[in-house]
A and B are shown apart, each in its own frame.
Chain A
Amino acid sequence: QVQLVESGGGVVQPGGSLRLSCTASGFIFSDYCMHWVRQAPGKGLEWVALIWYDGTNKYYADSVKGRFTISRDNSKNTLFLQMNSLRAEDTAFYYCARTKAAALYYIDYWGQGSLLTVSS
């Protein structure tokens, strides 16, 4: 069955960096566009970034543009999110999720999330 497992979360000081990973299984990873979506404590869901199935196109929310970079390694079925210049407001659970390229308008599977805490 489809599985998306995030890892790499932790506690980082403001201004620091961290890289999240998401390992996919149970489907052909290279056929799907992949997202990062986050949820701050007590808040709703916020879309962060999307990468095209072949890595050619990347899109970001304004709140992370210039600080976060999404990437993927299709040979290892793995999605990444490099997060730099971290701020307290980046504290959240980060979920990886997949979308069919032909049906970008909804997200059909999500992981269980990895927690990032930005605090001094």
Chain B
Amino acid sequence: EIVLTQSPGTLSLSPGERATLSCRASQSVSSRYLAWYQHKPGQAPRLLMFGVSSRATGIPDRFSGSGSGTDFTLTISKLEPEDFAVYYCQQYGTSPTWTFGQGTKVEIK
């Protein structure tokens, strides 16, 4: 079973700053099978990125994804107030299973 480890656990930043979130897999993950989600308290999680670097419908271009193999990154180029949330990476395994990282909280500094 592939384990996803996200870092840091919490990122304290100010609006306008750049956020870099890491997701490391315990084994190599196909790029097609890596996605990112945003989750705010009391709301439905929202798909941000799929296939590592493809933005979901309606996601602004300040969000970008990169990486391959075991190391993946979600970057928010300039944080807007609505971007403060918890972010999860997720990989698809062929059992099939869907595995999430433990999340990175992006909070206002």
Contacts and interface: CB of A to CB of B under 8 A. Distances in A.
Q: For the side of the interface on B, what is the size category?
A: 20 to 34
Interface in A89-120: 95, 97, 103-113
Interface stretch (B18-26, B45-53, B76-84): B45-53
B102 A44 contact: yes
Interface string A67-104: 00000000000000000000000000001010000011
A109 to B, nearest CB: 7
Q: For the side of the interface on A, what is the size category?
A: 20 to 34
A104 B35 CA distance: 11
A106 B92 contact: yes
Contacts of B44: 4, 95, 109-113
Given A105-B32, A105-B35, A110-B46, A59 B97 contact: yes
B100 A107 contact: no
B60 interface: no
A105 B93 CA distance: 8
Given A105-B35, A106-B92, A61 B97 contact: yes
Interface in B16-61: 32-33, 35, 37, 39, 42-47, 50-51, 56
Nearest to A4: B44
Contacts of A104: 92, 96
B15 interface: no
Interface in B66-108: 88, 90, 92, 95-103
Nearest to B57: A108
Nearest to A46: B100
Contact of A44 (B56, B96, B100): B100
Interface in A13-70: 35, 37, 43-47, 50, 59, 61
Contact of B97 (A43, A47, A107, A108): A47
Contacts of B95: 59
Interface of A: 4, 35, 37, 43-47, 50, 59, 61, 95, 97, 103-113
5 contacts: A43-B102, A47-B100, A105-B50, A107-B37, A112-B44
